[in-house]
Each structure stands twice: as structure tokens, then as C-alpha cells.
Amino acid sequence: MPHTTHPSHQRPCGWNAWLTERQPRPALSGQSEADVVIIGAGYTGFAAASAWQQARPEDRIKILEADQVGEGSPGRNSGFMLEIALANDARPEELERMEKLNALSRQTMALLRERVERLGIDCQLERSGTYRAARSTIGQRALNQYEAFLKAAGLSYQTLNGNQLAERIGTRYYTQGIYSSDCYLVQPAALIVGLADSLEAGIELHEHSPATQIVPDGKKWRVTTPEGEVTAEQVILANNAFSRALGADPSRLTAIYTYAAITEPLPQPERQRIAETTWGLLPAHRLGCTLRTTADGRLMIRSRYSYEREADNARIEAELKVSLEARYPELTPVRFDKVWGGTTGLTHNGAPLWGEIQPGLYVSAGCNGGGIVKGTFLGDALARHALGQPVENIASLFGKASWMPPDPVRRLGFYLTSEMERRKAKNET
């Protein structure tokens, strides 16, 4: 089955629906030229464009976005911005690498925070910290592993029993938890739209301009969209898993759909007990539920996965209601205001697909769910790499994306592994 160049979603992005309506930038039309074309108006693409503009302010930079900014994957995530990188264990070699990554993450987060403040982007950015919580034995094992890493790495955290956690997030569903302060929460659609509308002079953004083909044109590349063509000496693929249709290695990258639902503003006293503060919870087990509150007192849940294609949103909505009601039975029946799906680019070993594919053609994809901070850093680094500037050793820091078997073996492996994990971690999902 051929890969598509951009996702197709069943429902609009909930986060974007609450923003003031804006006029999208004109689609690419006719024939044009640029020095560099960036495919994808997300955190990676914007970071690459800004780095390029700072290094070569006279260059013509074009960004092509398949949809309207805010409706794509960058606006559909849960809005967690982690300042620390996470390892699966506490081996000394992992800790040394994580220490370097943590420093880069904090530096990148500081730059993002400074830009939000300087440009006056109203995106509800708040250092809330993050909880990890578990209910079952399998979740507790994962939580213990996470604590061992935090302790070995010398990172600050708090351990919480079920009662302590309930006081913080208003549910007694979980038996234990860990709180880390190293996380910000953001309204992701507001952030990505704010970045789009404050691009530096010289960066030209075209929305509703999906790249359908990239082919060599002499010593340049020709990028085709439904209404136009642009030639450039260099092209950066920053459209995550959908870069596979434009030259990225499909054996090292896959697309996973995840789903979110968000309630109406909670009534009192539920709001006072559950959503009086802005907090976020990430699951101890990888198939568990992500939870967070919002500034206006809503409760969001994110869970469920599908391989390469978006699952029926009505079925997913029913399943998310069951999960949320199990955690907050007093909200039964749950009334969701918005439900939506979004894509995540995954690699088998968690390492990004990053670097030069062919002369003048570059890719950064596979952030594995950490796209805001990690994607920003990798996009900035890729632009510097393409410009011939010194750059961090990405392979040594993050690893290299490993090979995955093709379909149908890959698809079968995904569903078998997911089903086995789901059964073992039933109470976490």
C-alpha cells in the first residue's frame, strides 16, 4: 500500500476549535524558486526555518503545510513539554547520555519559553510538572523502573501513595504515583498557530499546500503541490511519518494514530476537586491513559492506538468514556465536548530518523511522541547540518532509527503486541 503524504482526520482538532478564527496563508500556486523548501509547518519545520533564516537572512525560505496550521498533528497532541529525557533503565551509559540530552532539552525549552514571552503568544504555557501513576502490578513495575532512573540520574521527584495522589488529581483510581517538576503544559494548537503567525521576515508559509512529489531537477529539487511547483537547492522533510512518501526510509518509520477527548468545563464542586489547578498525568505503562486539565477547568483523556489508519472515532469515543468514568465515576455519564485523532511518527527503537537522505534532501522524523521540545531541537540541528555548520552528534545522543519488517509482518506485530500488552495492563488503559 503506497504511503500518503499527509494525514486525513475524521474530526477537526479540538484544541484548534477554541482559537480565534484566522486567515490561512495563501496556498502555493504557479512556478517559483527558493533556496530551501521545508515540508511541514510543525515544531520541527518552524525550528529549521528559524535557524536557517538566522544563518542566511538573505535566503528565500518556503514552508509548505498540507493542512491549515493548527489542524495538523502539532496541534493535536496533549500539550506536554518535557524538560528531561527519559531512559528505560539506570545503566551508567544511559545516565551519561541522558544527562547530555537533559541539558539540551532544558536549553531548548528555555528558548521556546523566551520566544513565547517575547512574541506574546497566548498559549497557556505553565510549568505544572507531571505525574506518573499506576494501578496494576504491571504499571507499578514500570513506575518503579522510572523511579530508579530518576534517582540514579539525581533528578528531583516526589513519591505519592494513592491518598496523596487523590488529593492532587481528584481520583482514587491509582495506587501510587510519582511527581516530577520538569514539565510544562501548553495549549498546543495555540502554540503552533502563534509560532506560524510570528515567523521572521523572509520565511514564506503556504497552507493547504501538500507536497505530492519531490523529484531531482538538475542540481536542484522540484517540489510539486496541487496548485504549484517550487524548485530549491535543498529540501527538508519535517512532516514526520508522512516523509516516507517523499523519500524517507519506510523501513525505519511508521505512523500510529492516537486519540484524545476533552470534556466540557466541569461543574462545581467537581471542578474545584479535580481541575482547580492545571496538572498533567502520563501513564506508567505505555498503553495507559494520559490525563490533563486545562485553564478553563476541562479534563482531557488520551488513549487508544491504531496502526497507519484512523480508527472509527465513534467507537473510540465510547471506549474513552469508559476509561474516564472508571477514573472519575462521579462524572458519569461523561460528556465530551471534542474528540479527535492525531498521528505520531514511531521508530522501533525510539531513535529519530534524521539526516541527509540524498544530496540536498534531508529528513527529521520519528520523535515518538515528544515532538514539541525534541522536534524543535532536531529541526534546528538539521538546518545547521544542511548549512554545513557544526552540529551535535545526533546518533550518539539519540541513536539511529532501527529497521522494521515490512507489512504485513509489521502490522501483525503491532496488533499482536498491542493486544498482549492491553490484556496484561487492562487496568492501566
pLDDT tens string 83-138: 987 766 667 778 888 899 999 999 999 999 999 999 999 999 999 999 999 999 98
Cross-strand bridge partners of residue 346: 254
Cross-strand bridge partners of residue 62: 37, 204
Q: How far apart are CA 259 and CA 83, in angstroms?
A: 24
State the pLDDT at residue 153: 87
Enclosing H/E stretch for 422: helix 409-424
Nearest C-alpha neighbor of 254 from the set 379, 419, 341, 365 = 365
- For the segment 233-246, what is each residue's pLDDT rounded down to a tens digit? 999 999 999 999 99
Q: Give the CA radius of gyration of the chain.
A: 21
**Upper half-sphere CA count for residue 76 (Cβ side, 13 Å):** 24
State the pLDDT at residue 2: 66
Label residue 388 exposed, middle or buried (CB < 10 Å: 0-12, 13-18, 19+): exposed
Q: How far apart are CA 205 and CA 352, in angstroms?
A: 25
- For the segment 327-368, what is each residue's pLDDT rounded down to a tens digit? 999 999 999 999 999 999 999 999 999 999 999 999 999 988
- What CATH number should be reported for the domain whose range is 126-186+256-346+417-428? 3.30.9.10
CATH superfamily ID and name for 14-76+190-254+348-416: FAD/NAD(P)-binding domain (3.50.50.60)
Phi first, then psi, for residue 326 (nearest 5°) are -65, -35
- For the segment 129-146, what is each residue's pLDDT rounded down to a tens digit? 999 999 999 889 999 989
Per-residue pLDDT averaged across 209-220, rounded? 96
- According to DSSP, the β-strands at 228-237 and 220-224 are antiparallel
Tell me if 14-76+190-254+348-416 shares its fold with 126-186+256-346+417-428: no
User: Quick one: pLDDT band at residue 378, thresholds 50, 70, 90?
Assistant: very high
- The domain segmentation of the chain, as residue ranges, is 14-76+190-254+348-416, 126-186+256-346+417-428
pTM attached to this predicted model: 0.96
* Structure-block grid coordinates of residue 338: 471534542
State the pLDDT at residue 419: 87
Contact 373, 352 (CB under 8 A): no
